[in-house]
Chain A
Amino acid sequence: MNAGYLGLPTVVNNVESFVAAAMIMEQGADWFLSRGTETSTGTKLLSISGDCAKPGVYEYPFGTSIRKILEDCGADDPQMVQVAGAAGTMIGETDFDRCISFDDVATGGSFMIFDRSRDLPEIIGNFIAFFVHESCGFCTPCRVGTSLLQKRFDKLLSGRASRLDLEKMQQIGTLMKVTSHCGLGATAPNALLDSLKNFPSMYEDRLASTQFEPAFILEDALQEARTLADSGAKS
Chain B
Amino acid sequence: MNLKAAARLGGRIGHFSIDGVRLPFREGQTIMAAAMEAGVYIPHLCYNPEFTPHGSCRLCVVRSNGRHLAACTTPAAEGLEVESHTDELQEQRRELLQMLFVEGNHVCPACEKSGACQLQAVAYYCGMLAPELTYFYPQRTVDASHPDIAIDYNRCILCELCVRASREADGKNVFSIADRGIHAHLQINSSTGKLRDSDLEVTDKAAHVCPTGAILPRNLGYNIPIGKRPYDQKPISLAGDVADHEESS
Contact = CB atoms under 8 A, between A and B. Distances in A.
B182 A132 contact: yes
Contacts of B5: none
B184 interface: yes
B136 interface: yes
B56 A139 contact: yes
Interface of B: 55-59, 61, 68, 70, 92, 95-96, 99-100, 102-103, 132-136, 157-158, 177, 179-184
Contact of A140 (B99, B134, B180, B183): B99
Interface of A: 132-141, 143-148, 151-152, 168, 171-172, 175, 178-181, 215
A179 B57 CA distance: 10
A144 B132 contact: no
A145 B180 contact: no
Contacts of B134: 148, 151-152, 215
B180 A179 contact: no
Contacts of B102: 144, 148
B158 A172 contact: no
B183 A137 contact: yes
A134 B96 contact: no
A140 B181 contact: no
B181 A134 contact: yes
A140 B56 contact: yes
A151 B132 CA distance: 13
Given A137-B182, A144-B102, A172-B95, 14 more contacts: A135-B180, A135-B182, A137-B177, A139-B57, A140-B56, A140-B57, A143-B181, A143-B184, A147-B182, A148-B99, A151-B134, A152-B134, A175-B92, A215-B134
A140 to B, nearest CB: 5
Given A140-B96, A145-B99, A168-B132, A178 B182 contact: no
A181 B56 contact: yes
A179 B58 contact: yes
Contacts, number: 79
Q: Which 4 A-B pairs have the closest CB atoms?
A: A137-B184, A144-B99, A135-B181, A178-B68
Given A178-B68, A179-B68, A148 B133 contact: yes
Contacts of A180: 58
B100 A144 contact: yes
A210 B183 CA distance: 33
Contact of B179 (A133, A137, A178): A137
B70 to A, nearest CB: 7
A221 to B, nearest CB: 11
Given A144-B103, A147-B136, A215-B134, A179 B179 contact: no
A138 B183 CA distance: 11
A139 B45 CA distance: 12
Given A140-B99, A147-B136, A152-B134, A181 B181 contact: no
Most buried by B among A133, A134, A144: A144
Nearest to B97: A140
Given A171-B95, A181-B56, A137 B181 contact: yes
B37 to A, nearest CB: 25
A138 B163 CA distance: 13
Contacts of B92: 175, 178-179
Contacts of B136: 147
